[in-house]
Amino acid sequence: MSTPVIRTPELALTTDGIASVSFRWARCVPGKEEAMSHADENRAVTVRARWDAATDIRALELVAADGAALPAAEAGAHIDLHLPNGLVRQYSIMEPGAPPDSYRIGVLRECESRGGSAYVADELSAGDPLTISGPRNHFVLDE
């Protein structure tokens, strides 16, 4: 059975009320709580490869810019992709597992794109630098 994941809200209060809410992600382990600290960390990555996975779907393979392994991700995990045009979009990791040397994501090129999928489909190329955060998992499988 998989260990449940919880999120704990952390509020930034001001005299006028709540300024922001962020969530601390943690894995509940009997006897101790381990923060999934990588969930909110930004890390530099490079597009190692980009290809057409299907009609209107672009696949990207991302590797850490420093060559290190990326944090492990479970099935259902996603990353935040920080695009050079200022947008941040979430994409599911296609092949989760033990600390990988890359993440693979698929991006559907939306006809009515507000800039995220269009940028990935039309602008990104192998060798381009990006920033990601995560992985996060809102959909942990209970096996």
Q: Which two tokens stand for residue 62?
A: 């991302």
pLDDT for residue 8 is more than 90: no
Give the CA-trace dihedral at 141, 143, 2, 25, to 10 degrees.
Answer: 0
Q: Which two tokens stand for residue 121?
A: 């489909």
> Which position has the token pair 């794109």?
113
Rounded to whole angstroms, how far apart are CA atoms 90 and 77? 10
Q: Whole-prediction pTM value?
A: 0.70
Rounded to whole angstroms, how far apart are CA atoms 143 and 3? 10
77 vs 32, more confident? 77
User: In 10 A of CB 19, how many CB atoms?
Assistant: 10
% pLDDT > 70, the chain: 66
pLDDT (0 to 100) of residue 125: 95
